[in-house]
Amino acid sequence: MPHPLVAELENAFQEVRNRDLTLGERLRHIADCVRANGPDFAAAVDTFVARLEAAQAGSTAPMVGDVMPDFCLPDHEGRLVTLDQLLERGPAVLAFHRGHWCPYCRLNMIGLAEIEQEAKPAQIVAISSEVQQYTRMLRAEAGAQFPFLTDVGGGYTLSINLAILVDDTMSAMIGVAGWDIPGYQAHSPWVLPVPAVFVVGQDGIIAARHVDPDYRRRMELDALLDAVKLVRV
């Protein structure tokens, strides 16, 4: 049997996943569900997020005007993908997320799939530390055509100062809920990315970014499409 909070979150997710709402409105529905059905969990999340905000987590990740560092990561089918290869075909939208278990990330990926065609010629790419079993699962659920990459061991995320260590209190609560984060990530430590989006032009320069240590908030889809206009050629 799923944890009661997880069951309620799944109901909330299914309720809003296809509704005509902004991404932010869908995400707030999930956050409201957590507060209503898991007040202790919600309080722990507030404390965790406050610590990340105080530490300015993600603030030293690549900035607008910087060159986005290259990567070489396996996609959902195990094929190696580099940023340079993506940029040969057009601009890129790099979306870092926590994984298939996170209802906020699931809604985020669904939202990105909804605008995938409108964003072209920019190529959307999802990046997490999850192994292919779970990247394929999330890609199928989202109905996405774009690649889902595995940042093995969180190495790339660490290299661009976007990784955070999940503390013992938060990791214990996540584990009790039934989410095996280390298992999803091939038994890597309790490290997750700060959810972020980087819009990268074909010259490799970052034209727009959205980095927020509060994983309950994401870049709105309209704002992302506006940012993509900056790198269309």
**In the structure, what pLDDT confidence band is assigned to residue 2 with cuts at 50, 70 and 90?**
confident
Q: Has residue 1 got a pLDDT over 80? A: no
What's the pLDDT tens digit per position in 11-62?
999 999 999 999 999 999 999 999 999 999 999 999 999 999 999 999 999 9
Q: Are the C-beta atoms of 143 and 119 separated by less than 8 Å?
A: no
Write out pLDDT tens, residues 168-208: 999 999 999 999 999 999 987 899 999 999 999 999 999 99
pLDDT tens profile 125-177? 999 999 999 999 999 999 999 999 999 999 999 999 999 999 999 999 999 99
How much is the average pLDDT of 214-229? 98
Look at residue 101 in the predicted model and tell me its pLDDT.
97
- 215: confidence class by pLDDT, cuts 50, 70, 90: very high
pLDDT in tens, 82-111: 999 999 999 999 999 999 999 999 999 999
Q: Which pLDDT does position 165 carry in this prediction?
A: 93
Is residue 232 over pLDDT 90?
no
The answer to whether residue 224 scores a pLDDT higher than 80 is yes
Distance between CA atoms of residues 62 and 127, nearest Å: 16
Render the burial of 15-26: b for 16+ CB within 10 Å, e for the rest: ebbeeeeebeeb
Report how far residue 217's alpha carbon sits from residue 34's, in angstroms, rounded to the nearest whole number.
14
Question: What pLDDT, on a 0 to 100 scale, did the predictor assign at position 187?
Answer: 83
pLDDT at residue 86, as a whole number: 97
